[in-house]
Copies of this chain bind each other. A is one copy, B any other.
Amino acid sequence: MLYRTKLFSAPRLLLRECARFMSESSEAAAVPERKYIPRRSLMYVPGNDERKINKIPQLVASGADCICLDCEDGVAINKKEEARNSIRKILDEQSLDFGKSECTVRINGVGSGFEQIDMETILSGPNLPSSVHLPKVENLDHLEWFAAELNSVIASNAAQKIGLILFIETAEGLLNIKEICRRAQELSDDSFFVPEAIVFGSDDFAADIGATRTKLSTELFYARQAVVTAAKAFRMQAIDCVYIDYKDLEGLEKQSLEGAGFGFTGKQVIHPGQIGIVQQAFSPPEHRIQWATQLIKEFEEHQEAGAGAFVFRGQMIDMPTVKQAKNVLQLIAKDS
């Protein structure tokens, strides 16, 4: 307790030093690194909608990688409190079985007036969501606020860091995406989160720039590829736009494959019927699985032999590539 008081009254430079000290101390070493969590389909469930919450087992059975309990857009203004408290209860009681699905929470955006009470309610208890979604990130202030607030509400004995899933869904956010990603990574050194994914909030973005959404999404070409480029430069996941017409499964599959082809790693879904197609579209093809399996096998052999440099199929293999291959295998292990 003393520690936390001191930490947050100290000026910024001291804060950094404290954090660095912490991360070198044995206490911090006890915080395990987060393993790779695929988010091929990301399904929202309004926190106050009991009927939909009761259907979560179906979402889990459909294999949805990520189930997001929502405080934001899916919840009307006068239901915010109800949603927040209901999510707290779900986390506390742990009566819902999320199986292999990740359980996350989307809070309201910075400046909405709900963000602080959302953070305090959702993140102060003993049971935490795996990740938090922060919508409408537009500038560095939004991130600074989040990092400071998270550090003040999360118990310093958190079992592990929380994943941060950022939303880029305004023109300003897109214009600042490089600085936002870089700052998120810097802040994560001193905070209890790891920036893991960027979600492209297509419909809010289109509304913000005054664009009209079409099925081909030509109007979002620039934004979608800019989001992928920034996310990948910082080794984060990139999660693509919603396909609104949930009855058109053929159109959904086409757009999912297009997104995967652009380099997106997953897609938002708004209906349970969309989960299977989306999960499939963002799963690695057979040749990719073989590549990963063999690469990791040879990597481990070289490790055992104590060899440093490592050539695979004619290419020098660096650690990011090993990590990519490991991610593929973790993903496969999850599915089997």
- Write the residues of chain A forming the contact surface with B, with a CB cutoff of 8 angstroms: 76-78, 112-113, 170-172, 174-175, 178, 206, 208-212, 214, 218-219, 221-223, 225-226, 228-230, 232-233, 258, 260-263, 265, 309, 311, 314-316
Contacts and interface: CB of A to CB of B under 8 A. Distances in A.
B208 A232 contact: yes
B77 A316 contact: yes
A263 B314 contact: no
* Nearest 5 A/B pairs, CB to CB: A222-B225, A171-B233, A209-B263, A171-B232, A211-B263
B219 A263 contact: yes
Contacts of A265: 210
Contact of A212 (B214, B228, B260, B314): B260
A208 B231 CA distance: 11
Query: Main SS of the interface on chain A?
Result: helix
Contact of A222 (B175, B222, B261, B316): B222
A231 to B, nearest CB: 8
Nearest to A227: B222
Contacts of A219: 225, 261-263
Contact of A229 (B76, B212, B223, B233): B223
A170 B206 CA distance: 26
A265 to B, nearest CB: 7
B171 A77 contact: no
A175 B174 CA distance: 13
Contact of A221 (B77, B208, B222, B311): B222
B175 A229 contact: yes
Contacts of A77: 309, 311, 314-316
Contacts of A230: 171, 175
27 contacts: A76-B311, A76-B314, A77-B311, A77-B315, A77-B316, A112-B316, A113-B316, A170-B233, A171-B230, A171-B232, A174-B229, A175-B178, A175-B230, A175-B233, A208-B232, A209-B228, A210-B265, A211-B228, A211-B261, A211-B262, A212-B260, A212-B261, A214-B261, A218-B261, A221-B222, A222-B222, A222-B229
A214 B219 CA distance: 18
